[in-house]
Amino acid sequence: MIPPILSRRAFLKTSTALAGSGPLLAATLNALAAARKSPLMAYVGTFSSPLHDVLPTQVDLPPGNGRGIHLFQVDRVSGAMTPSGVVESGTSPNCLAVNAAGTRLYSTNETDKQGEGNEGTVSAYAINRADGQLTLLNTFRSGGAGPTYLSVHPSGRFVLVANYFGGSVAVLPIRKDGSLGAATDIKNDAGTVGPRKATNAPPGSFAFSGHDRTHAHMIQADASGRFVLHADLGLDRIFVWKFDDRAGVLTPNDPPAVAFPPGDGPRHFSFHPNGCWFYSLQEEGSNLVVFDYDSANGRLKARQTISSLPPGFAGSNFCSEVLVSADGRFVYAGNRLHDSIAIFAIGKTGGLKFVGEEWTRGNYPRSFNFDPTGRLLYACNQRSDNVTAFRVDKKSGRLEFTGHYAPVGNPSVIAFLDLADAAGKK
């Protein structure tokens, strides 16, 4: 059987080119066979807090039907997911990030039960590159309550954490063995909290989630690692920091933040592969804002706002995830309550045009992600306890449901690791 990662035409061309070179042909085919046997792993983070651990200020989280981090092997052709184990955890590992080498996985634990300061935690795991299984290295305090997002800095030496219920962001150093150390910096968000009613809310919307206090919701460095950006939903701001990658310290940029219309609530954002365009998704405003990004100075300049919902929609909706396709042609935005993923084509200058939407076949899609090839997209339907798989049409950007569901209690996030690629990085 020809591995699905190699087309038949490409296989025939390769075989013809290698004819007569027995040892080289054998080595190539062996490498392809090894790649086919190496699992494509999916790691699904869940809300798994028992009822008595749920934070009293949580507004959209059920008690938690998940069991921790759920592991799956993914069929590279059909997209079907087969269970491969669970790392048991009752602290809601709701955000996951794999390092560039594919050797470590980091998880937020959305709790406030650690220490006198009511902090959450972040955990580090070693990845077995033979089978994708996880081994806990250590767990460290996150620098605030309810950590909801983390990312690995491009240097590979730090984990950046956004503490939603603590209204803070933190920098945790990565030790040589991949474990985490005490925070080198913690910044507490401050400013005027926005109104309960979003400026750009859809007609008839009663969406209200985070305008009761500061809520750091996402943090990520730009491609250079020189600047770190984080969104605070309650303050209607995206903050920009200069980053010292030797000391692990954040310093306010000039200007230190960009403001959004009151109440719209920036939640997640995504950089375009060219590094010049930046897309922010607003949770309560149900819209996308397109920015030009000055990578030399870490500055954002807004130039387009477009609804995440289809024309004519009225009612309540909470936006969730936003991602740019790897080829830079499309933006995808998640809508909860509307339960869809909106699709936008990216124009020559970075502007967006609504293409269509796809029902996620579930309830309350908290996030979604592409597999490593970009040919499949997986939606985490938090309230219907499943992950659904879609094929991506690379030409139109549209999504087609594969028919595959994976049962997972309260899925929050899905991350992938191709163990064939990981083996090559060893």
Instruction: Write down the pLDDT at residue 251.
Output: 98
Buried b (16+ CB within 10 A) or exposed e, 253-282: beeebbebbbbbbbbbbbbbeeeebbbbbb
pLDDT value for 295:
97
Q: Is the pLDDT at 58 greater than 60, yes or no? A: no
Reported as a pLDDT band with limits 50, 70 and 90, residue 111 is confident
d(CA 236, CA 214): 9
* Mean pLDDT along residues 183-206: 96
pLDDT at 209: 87
Query: What pLDDT score was predicted for residue 334?
Result: 98
Give the pLDDT confidence score for residue 36 in this predicted structure.
58
The answer on pLDDT for 117 being more than 80 is no
Pick 209 or 359 by higher pLDDT.
Answer: 359
Distance CA 256, CA 110 (A): 27
Task: Read off φ and ψ for residue 31, nearest 5 degrees.
Answer: -65, -40
Which stretches of 115-248 are assigned E, i.e. beta strand? 119-127, 134-141, 147-152, 158-163, 168-173, 185-188, 216-221, 227-232, 237-244
Asked if residues 57 and 27 have their Cβ atoms less than 8 Å apart, the reply is no
Q: What is the pTM of this model?
A: 0.90
Q: What is the mean pLDDT of residues 345-368?
A: 98
Residue 114's pLDDT is 62
Q: Half-sphere exposure of residue 127, counting CA atoms within 13 Å on the CB side?
A: 30
Q: Which pair of structure tokens corresponds to residue 297?
A: 């100075």
Amino acid in the structure at residue 302: A
Predicted pLDDT at 211: 94
pLDDT higher than 70, residue 59: no
Q: 182 is written with which tokens?
A: 């005490």
Strand, coil or helix: 78: coil
Give strand pairing partners of 375.
none
3-state SS track over 79-114: CCEEEEEEEECCCCCCCEEECCCCCEEEEEEEEEEE
* Rounded Cα distance, 18 and 3, in Å: 17
Mean pLDDT calculated for residue range 260-276: 98
Give residue-wise pLDDT tens across range 276-327: 999 999 999 999 999 999 999 999 999 999 999 999 999 999 999 999 999 9
pLDDT in tens, 1-36: 334 444 444 444 444 444 455 665 565 455 445 555
Are 194 and 211 a contacting pair, CB within 8 Å? Answer: yes
Q: Give tens-digit pLDDT for 369-419.
A: 999 999 999 999 999 999 999 999 999 999 999 999 999 999 999 999 999
Using CA atoms, how far apart are residues 90 and 70, in angstroms rounded to an integer? 13
At residue 291, the pLDDT reads 98
The pLDDT assigned to 1 comes to 36
Q: Could you report the per-residue pLDDT of 228-245, keeping only the tens digit for each?
A: 999 999 999 999 999 999
The pLDDT value given to residue 218: 98
What average pLDDT is seen over the chain? Answer: 90
